[in-house]
Amino acid sequence: NGIGTADDTRRLEYYRRALRGVVSCLNDGLDIRGYYAWSAFDNFEWMLGYRPTFGLIAVDRETQTRTVKPSGRWLGEVARANGF
């Protein structure tokens, strides 16, 4: 799951809220096996091309340089800590 926006602050808040929902489900005894972010990289959408951007990692289409966005760094910290 994810959000297509150029505003990474919105993306980060989206993931915070989504993971709070996952924690709530776990606390209620639901069997949650994992969580997937869409997507790791800014990608090509068939209907919209290279916009909107969904990735945790920005891709410069001219140089192919990859840059981890703040939301990607945050989600990585959550994964390493196994919590937030």
> What would the pLDDT profile of 53-66 be if each residue is shown by its tens digit?
899 999 999 999 99
Phi, psi of 76 (to 5 degrees): -65, -40
Question: Does 24 fall in a domain?
Answer: yes
Please give the residue range of the domain that contains residue 64.
8-81
Which pTM does this prediction carry?
0.86
Query: Is the per-residue pLDDT at 48 higher than 90?
Result: no
Question: Does 25 fall in a domain?
Answer: yes
Question: Does 2 fall in a domain?
Answer: no
Q: What is the band of 84 on the pLDDT scale with cuts at 50, 70, 90?
A: confident
Q: What is the band of 50 on the pLDDT scale with cuts at 50, 70, 90?
A: confident
Give the gyration radius of the chain's Cα atoms: 14
Question: Does 67 fall in a domain?
Answer: yes
Number of domains in the chain: 1
Q: With helix as H, strand as E and coil as C, how does the chain read?
A: CCCCCCCHHHHHHHHHHHHHHHHHHHHCCCCCCCCCCCCCECCCECCCECCCCCCCEEECCCCCCEEECHHHHHHHHHHHHCCC
Question: Does 53 fall in a domain?
Answer: yes
